């Protein structure tokens, strides 16, 4: 069963504490799968401790950032981090980290594009859907339904500067609404009309300066540089204006300075830079298409490992804007598909039931273009499958290049769902590459088959061989433990209290989380009562009243341990409602406790429910998720 953390608030707080607390965190951001922290200093043991936390796939230190790879639930963790660090309140007051230019560029691209990448991806899927429909029903392109849906699919790209205004203003810590009005001016239809008149030969000036024919819909670098410079201008103006004038004249001055400055200077220069970088890649492609394909298809996932993949976004968008198509994303997609397939290859070959679940989950996530779980949780962890994916991706991309595979539509998250972007829309003015889609499909199929076959032949060290009794060392929800079959009856253990159930591996105490006392589950209580989880005899009650031992008629031995380190409280917060030797029924009240007193003493309330004779059973499996009420079944025992 794949890893899934239910208490994201706890994970966020644990991460903050492990990296040195709020005072050591300069800034925090997130992307599709990573929590990105900028630290003053990185504690020596932070990497290993956080990487071992349940729910964390891995930790990457690159680009001046401490990146915690969490997966699709990173937003849940980040929301808590924002609250704990008071990021919204600090605004522009947070100190800046000392980083090199390259690291700052990488961090900026990530912070700006990651928050809305799913919007672009959704729009890309809509475009792909329209392409498929018109393939089978060409007349659909002439309907009002098509026109409206097409308009919707292009909206995020047309107004891309507006999205950038929001995210960049937060990254550069300036007024979001000032950034918005400036960037909205760039996509104003009247400005595009002016640029069109200039392109037709008319000379139009702003004061003494000629306006260029550059347009800014779908642009990336012009609004990005606009907001960056705006952040300095806004602070400069705000510090020098009297308080009575700041609210009105700060946006006024910023608007009349930044929009003309962008239209006359920043826009043309930054567009030239983006086109230059795109031109460099295109020159390589024109010189040796197979070489360009091999590099991207084979090494793109290596770039993803270091979290610097957002830097290519302006290049791809520049290609779409200038040429109406892009080859980079066509090969990038094949690289993503190959790594996804490598995870499925691990799923097929592994004999570790638990790890098979991890690989399957990571592979399914890869279908949607997110490969970090597959890379960090499966292929890179095992090393050889990652290499298999890179080889298959490179071969698939090279074959696709023979067919001149291109993308006609930008893919926010390149992957299996975006291969239709290689189909030329009926209303596109881009050049026709008749075999583009065929080549993309063939390249993708080669990547899938190649990665899976290579994994089967080359193999890997199955995690099952690394631990005793076939139990994987991977952090996961499964709490299954293999042992010699025993003559025990199947049984169900019910929740002894109301609260949120969690795997035992997530308990913040190694004695419990390691399974040293046995397997089971844990509950974060929402009230102050403990009930019998089974029909049993009360075998023991600790002198400190914090734990009770039970034994069922079939010989199952259960331990209910209320809180962590609560033994030091000497029984003060606990009131026992039963006695040793009593026969109890499931649901009988055993114990009450003062939750506030326990928390005030600094002890977590997490309550492990452990089957101490776990070796007598073939399997012990958690069968509940989230909030439970006492009496709900949480563990199945066979």
For the chain, the maximum distance between any two Cα atoms, rounded to a whole number of angstroms, is: 98
Q: How many CB atoms lie within 10 A of CB 559?
A: 20
Give yes or no: 630 in active site.
Answer: no
Residue 348, both tokens:
């097929």
Is the separation of the CB atoms in 209 and 263 below 8 Å? no
Residue 565, both tokens:
């380190």
In terms of C-beta density within 10 A (0-12 exposed, 13-18 middle, 19 or more buried), how is residue 277 classed? middle
Is the separation of the CB atoms in 340 and 22 below 8 Å? no
CA 241 centroid distance within chain: 42
Measured at the alpha carbon of residue 102, what is the angle toward residues 99 and 106, in degrees to the nearest 5? 95
Give SS3 for 548: strand
Residue 379, both tokens:
């292929």
CA 388 – CA 131 distance, rounded (Å): 33
Which is catalytic among the residues 31, 182, 254, 388? 31
Q: How many helices (H) and strands (E) does the chain have?
A: 23, 20
Which is catalytic among the residues 47, 561, 603, 630? 561
Give SS3 for 549: strand
CA 331 – CA 112 distance, rounded (Å): 24
DSSP state string for 16-62:
HHHTT-GGGEEEEEE-SSEEEEEESS--TTHHHHHHTSTT--EEEEE
Is the separation of the CB atoms in 212 and 197 below 8 Å? no
In what side-by-side order are the strands of the sheet with 547-551? 583-584, 536-541, 547-551, 557-561, 607-611, 519-525, 499-503, 626-628
Is the separation of the CB atoms in 522 and 606 below 8 Å? yes
Give yes or no: 388 in active site.
Answer: no
Q: Provide the annotated active-site residues.
A: 31, 561
């Amino acid at each position: 069963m794949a890893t899934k953390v239910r208490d994201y608030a706890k994970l966020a707080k644990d991460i903050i504490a492990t990296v040195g607390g709020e005072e050591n965190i300069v800034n925090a951001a997130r992307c599709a799968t990573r929590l990105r922290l900028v630290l003053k200093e990185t504690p020596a043991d932070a990497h290993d401790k956080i990487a071992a936390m349940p729910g964390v796939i891995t930790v990457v230190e690159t680009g001046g950032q401490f990146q915690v790879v969490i997966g699709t639930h990173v937003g849940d963790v980040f929301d808590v981090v924002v609250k704990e660090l008071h990021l919204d309140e600090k605004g522009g007051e947070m100190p800046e980290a000392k980083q090199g230019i390259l690291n700052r560029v990488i961090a900026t691209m990530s912070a700006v594009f990651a928050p809305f990448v799913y919007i672009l991806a959704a729009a890309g899927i809509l475009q792909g859907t329209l392409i498929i429909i018109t393939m089978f029903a060409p007349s659909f392109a002439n309907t009002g339904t098509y026109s409206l849906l097409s308009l919707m699919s292009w909206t995020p790209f047309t107004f891309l500067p507006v999205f950038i205004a929001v995210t960049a203003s937060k990254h550069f810590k300036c007024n979001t609404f000032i950034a918005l009005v400036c960037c909205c001016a760039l996509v104003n239809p009247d400005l595009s009309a002016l640029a069109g008149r200039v392109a037709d030969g008319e000379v139009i000036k702003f004061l003494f300066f000629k306006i260029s024919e550059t347009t800014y819909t779908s642009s990336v670098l012009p609004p990005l540089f606009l907001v960056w410079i705006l952040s300095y201008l806004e602070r400069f103006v705000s510090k020098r204006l009297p308080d009575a004038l700041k609210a009105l004249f700060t946006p006024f001055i910023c608007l009349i300075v930044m929009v003309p400055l962008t239209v006359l200077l920043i826009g043309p220069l930054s567009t030239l830079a983006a086109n230059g970088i795109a031109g460099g890649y295109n020159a390589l492609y024109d010189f040796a298409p197979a070489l360009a394909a091999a590099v991207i298809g084979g090494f793109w996932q290596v770039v993803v490992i270091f979290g610097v993949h957002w830097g290519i976004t302006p290049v791809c968008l520049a290609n779409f804007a200038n040429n109406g198509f892009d080859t980079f994303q066509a090969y990038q997609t094949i690289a993503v598909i190959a790594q996804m397939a490598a995870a499925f290859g691990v799923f097929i070959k592994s004999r570790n039931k638990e790890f098979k679940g991890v690989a399957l989950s990571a592979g399914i996530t890869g279908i949607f273009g997110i490969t970090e779980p597959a890379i960090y949780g499966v292929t890179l962890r095992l090393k050889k499958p990652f290499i298999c994916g890179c080889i298959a991706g490179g071969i698939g991309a090279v074959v696709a290049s023979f067919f001149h595979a291109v993308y006609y539509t930008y893919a926010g998250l390149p992957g299996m769902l975006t291969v239709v972007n290689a189909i030329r829309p009926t209303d596109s003015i881009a050049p026709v590459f008749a075999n583009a889609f065929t080549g993309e499909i063939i390249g993708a199929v080669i990547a899938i088959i190649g990665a899976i076959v290579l994994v089967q032949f080359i193999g890997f060290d199955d995690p099952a061989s690394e631990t005793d009794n076939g139990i994987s060392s991977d952090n996961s929800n499964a709490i299954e433990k293999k042992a010699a079959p025993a003559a025990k009856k199947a049984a169900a253990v019910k929740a002894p209290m109301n609260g949120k159930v969690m795997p035992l591996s997530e308990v913040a105490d190694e004695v419990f989380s390691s399974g040293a006392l046995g397997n089971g589950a844990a509950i974060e209580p929402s009230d102050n009562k403990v009930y019998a989880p089974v029909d049993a005899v009360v075998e023991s009650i600790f002198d400190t009243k914090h734990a009770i031992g039970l034994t069922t008629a079939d010989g199952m031995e259960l331990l209910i341990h209320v809180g962590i380190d609560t033994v030091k409280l000497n029984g003060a917060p606990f009131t026992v409602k039963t006695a040793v030797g009593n026969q109890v029924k499931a649901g009988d009240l055993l114990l009450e406790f003062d939750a506030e007193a326990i928390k005030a003493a600094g002890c977590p309330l997490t309550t492990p429910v452990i089957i101490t004779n776990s070796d007598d059973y073939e399997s012990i499996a958690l069968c509940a998720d989230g909030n439970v009420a006492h009496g709900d079944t949480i563990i199945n025992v066979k």
